Amino acid sequence: MPPVKPYNWDKTGEAAQNNYKFFEDCFDPNPTTNKAFRDWFFNPSTSEDDVRKKLKNTYHLDIPATIKLAVVDLQWARCKNWSITNPQTQDFYSLIMPPRPTRWPNNQYYVESQQWEESWFHAIVDGYGM
């Protein structure tokens, strides 16, 4: 089965707004807060259901229980999945956390522009993940 991306053409703008909140947390300028946000997904006690609930309740991204999850953190080069045993036969969603923008880290306009770029990209492109 291919990767799955929950998508509703009529809610692209809403999806971009919700994605923006995720990237706001993902790009938090405080290194301690940023690392803690990312580490939560990789904590051994964080279950697939915990991630599913957080995505739904905090970021309004509803991943059905029938779709398996994978999390990829590009900033810290790590990947986690809970129950994907055969990606050729199982539907799965990849939550991709890009690295925090570093070219001009103290320029809020630059960081915010990157958040909108990521939010829009993941709301409209067939990228199979956020």
Classified as helix, coil or strand, 34 is helix
Render pLDDT for 48-86 as a digit per residue (tens, 0 to 9).
999 999 999 999 888 889 889 999 998 899 999 998 888
Render pLDDT for 79-125 as a digit per residue (tens, 0 to 9).
999 988 888 888 888 888 888 877 776 777 777 777 767 765 655 55
Are 93 and 3 in contact by the 8 Å Cβ rule? The answer is: yes
User: Which pLDDT does position 128 carry in this prediction?
Assistant: 46
**Among 31-35, 38-42, 80-84, 102-106, the range of highest mean pLDDT:** 38-42
> Which pTM value belongs to this model?
0.76
From the number of C-beta atoms within 10 Å of its C-beta (0-12, 13-18, 19+), residue 46 rates as middle
User: Which pLDDT does position 125 carry in this prediction?
Assistant: 57
